[in-house]
Amino acid sequence: MGTVVDAAIKVANGSAHTNKKVTVVFVLGGPGSGKGTQCSNIVEHFGYTHLSAGDLLRAEIKSGSENGTMIQNMIKEGKIVPSEVTIKLLQRAIQENGNDKFLIDGFPRNEENRAAFESVTGIEPEFVLFFDCPEEEMEKRLLSRNQGREDDNIETIRKRFKVYMESSLPVIDYYKAKGKVRKIDAARPIEEVFKAVKAVFTPESEKVAA
């Protein structure tokens, strides 16, 4: 898995700051590419904690926060919520959790997300797990996801695909140029995708010749 990048997350605590060393993997890919599904498998096998930016934003709406209505409107339109809001939720989740290994799923979604997270937390991802999947397949999966999500309708799905192409793919290209992207063909069945994912997370020294 390469070398472990130690990064410290800074959390304001009155005038003092507490630092926590963490390892972060960004999990990226289009809507419906299977990020959440594979993150559950990674958690089970490799002891990471899964933080989905979308899940944190949806929980923030439910909690009745003052930002709730704004977040709900952005999600309905497939737009990206201002980084400040999402980063605060991620920082809090990392700080509150006893684990030091995190999968951050669905973030960074655009250049603003990426640059702000890096400057606020000082965290560089260990690597980026990228689920590559054709739009046609993602659309099919989203339309049959059945989780009662307000954004899983064809009108919003089209907007999310556009935002993904225009704003999220450039973030993946940024990390590609740094040699940090581990690309997975996500169009295959869940078990096959996980085989490829496992190979990325298994240290070379532990890989057994088949």
What residue numbers does the annotated binding site for ATP cover? 32-37, 145, 188
State the binding string over 23-42 for Mg ion (x if CB under 5 A, else -): ------------xx------
The Cα 102–Cα 117 span in angstroms is 14
State the binding string over 43-72 for ligand C5P (x if CB under 6 A, else -): ---------xxx--x---------------
Single out the residue of 182, 163, 151 nearest to residue 54, CA to CA: 151
Which residues would be at the binding site for ligand ADP (CB under 6 A)? 29, 31-37, 141, 145, 189-190, 193
Q: Which is nearer to ligand C5P, 23 or 86 (CB)?
A: 86
Say if residues 89 and 96 touch (Cβ distance below 8 Å): no
Closest residue to ligand C5P, based on beta-carbon distance: 54
Q: Which does 75 bind (CB under 5 to 8 A by kind): ligand C5P, Mg ion, ligand ADP, none?
A: ligand C5P
SS3 of residue 151 by DSSP: coil
By CB under 6 A, tell whether 79 contacts ligand C5P.
Answer: yes
Radius of gyration (C-alpha) of the chain in whole angstroms: 17
Beta carbon of residue 205, minimum distance to ligand C5P (angstroms, whole number): 33
Q: Which is nearer to ligand ADP, 9 or 81 (CB)?
A: 81
The Cα 200–Cα 203 span in angstroms is 8
The residue type at 166: E
- Lookup: tokens for 54: 């979308």
Say if residues 117 and 170 touch (Cβ distance below 8 Å): no
Say if residues 108 and 26 touch (Cβ distance below 8 Å): yes
Residues that constitute the known binding site for CMP: 113
Q: How many CB atoms lie within 10 A of CB 152?
A: 18
By CB under 6 A, tell whether 129 contacts ligand C5P.
Answer: no
Catalog residues that contact ligand C5P under the rule CB under 6 A. Answer: 31, 52-54, 57, 74-75, 78-81, 86, 106-107, 109, 113, 151, 160
